[in-house]
A = this chain, B = another copy of it.
Amino acid sequence: MNKRQIQKKKTRELILRIAKEMFIKNGFLNTTTSQIAQKAGIAHGTIFLHFKNKESLIIEIFDLELEEISSTIQELVFKAFDLEQLLKQYLELIQEEEDLFVVLARELPFYSEELRRKILFRESIIRSHFHKAIEIGIRKNRYRDVDVATAVTFLFGAINHYLRLKPIFVKEGSVIEKFKPSIIKTFKHLILKY
């Protein structure tokens, strides 16, 4: 790898890093390519030297992210095949660093078919892990015999509902931190036998 190739790779990675940062902070639609270029300290046109267009830029970022989160969750499920632990660790995971997926999911209806399909695919992966964990609890006779798919929707919906509102409440200084433990506690309470 010569000097030119190294520089090129570096610029490419810089764009990816800055773009991801800004997409997370402001969403996809609210981030302009000019802003990305400006913050990265490169020319506007450089972005389109490395990526066909704005969409293929986020798709690459999303795919990298998907790979990472998939292996993380997979690991998580293997380590803790128990709903409560899984739930707790998942909440910590998405709490720790603002997740690109969560931000993208907010703008879901406005994206291209391709990106939407990818986002829903990621969602289905996470859902399937919760599904499995609940199913096992039922089989072990620890959980009530509920409709698993709907229970997962409740769970997922509550988490997303919280994440959707989080940036607003955080900005307004309201305390919503107790939400995390209470989600775990309540769902446990709801699903455990007596």
Q: Tell me the A residues contacting B by CB distance below 8 Å.
A: 27, 29-30, 106-110, 116, 120, 144, 146-147, 149-151, 153-162, 164-165, 167-168, 179, 182-183, 185-187, 189-191, 194
- When the two chains form their complex, are residues A168 and B120 in contact, meaning their CB atoms are under 8 A apart? yes
- The verdict on A147 contacting B186 (CB below 8 Å), with A158-B154, A158-B157 known, is yes
Tell me how far the C-beta of A166 lies from the nearest C-beta in chain B, rounded to whole angstroms.
10
CB neighbours of A190 from chain B (8 A)? 144, 146, 151, 154, 190-191
- When the two chains form their complex, are residues A158 and B167 in contact, meaning their CB atoms are under 8 A apart? no
- When the two chains form their complex, are residues B167 and A110 in contact, meaning their CB atoms are under 8 A apart? no
Considering only CB atoms, which chain B residue lies closest to A193 in the complex? B194
Dominant SS among interface residues on chain A? helix
A52 to B168, CA, bound (A): 27
A161 to B65, CA, bound (A): 23
29 interchain pairs, CB-CB under 8 A: A27-B110, A29-B29, A30-B110, A107-B110, A108-B168, A109-B164, A144-B189, A144-B190, A146-B190, A149-B182, A153-B161, A153-B162, A153-B183, A154-B155, A154-B157, A154-B158, A154-B190, A157-B157, A157-B158, A157-B159, A157-B160, A157-B161, A157-B162, A158-B158, A160-B160, A160-B161, A161-B161, A190-B191, A194-B194
